[in-house]
Amino acid sequence: MSRVAGKVVLVTGAGSGIGRATARLLADEGATVIVTDINRPGGLETVQQIGGRARFEEQDTSREADWKQVIDDILAREGRLDGLVNNAGIAGPYPSTFESETVEQWQRMLSINVQGVFLGCKHGVPAIRSSGGGSIVNLSSLAAFLGTPNLAAYGASKGAVRQFTKTVAIDCARKGYKVRCNSVHPGVILTPMGEGIMPDDKAKERVRRSIPIGDFGAPQDIAYGILYLISDESRFVTGTELVIDGGMNAI
């Protein structure tokens, strides 16, 4: 398969879940994938699953120094960057209302989920632009459209990603950078993070019944959407929101 053949793509938070599924699919479709994660064993396992089309770098996406190092390494070793998937993120403790959440929890959530995306775009756009153009995909959430009383900081962070994505997209388009930027909004996906908000089987079944399509999403469902946005098939798509949620946002 060759939907992204010859492209060099950085996927953050690729040590598990959606990031791992995305890295594997992009590699299957011909891309060279740089897998990053703060979880070194998980990231190395992803690379092992992929084989020769991937390598790992340890990265804390909330730290600007890490972003500079990773981007510099890619340009030095691969010689270009065609795509960036800002996937790394956390959900935080559940439940956590705005009244119960601590300032420290709030700041940690925003430092990873929002600052990490900001830094990715800040350092990724120049690298992609210098490579002739390409695509950035920012992972937001269905929570960007809905109130999240039990995940206050998480919902706020994903709303920020949704808006910031549009800002980057329009700024790049107006400046003629040939860098597209779109957000992806997963619903309830069976990943370690997703299952963390469903404390028992009873809660899990209650959530399942609330999904119009009748089942949970899988990481691969999100990966296919990201593949489309990274590929040249989406050359006329920027500043938009791809919701992959089994119909929940349509209710």
DSSP letter at 112 equals: I
CA gap 2, 94 in Å, rounded: 40
CA gap 92, 38 in Å, rounded: 16
Distance, C-alpha 152 to centroid of its chain? 20
Place of tokens 């999240």: 148
User: Which residue is catalytic, options 94, 154, 177, 228?
Assistant: 154
CA gap 74, 78 in Å, rounded: 5
Give me the count of residues in the chain: 251
The reply to whether 154 belongs to the active site is yes
Burial class (CB in 10 A: 0-12, 13-18, 19+), 93: middle
CA gap 54, 10 in Å, rounded: 10
Q: Which of 191, 99, 110, 201 is nearest to 150 (CA)?
A: 99
Q: Which residues carry out catalysis?
A: 154
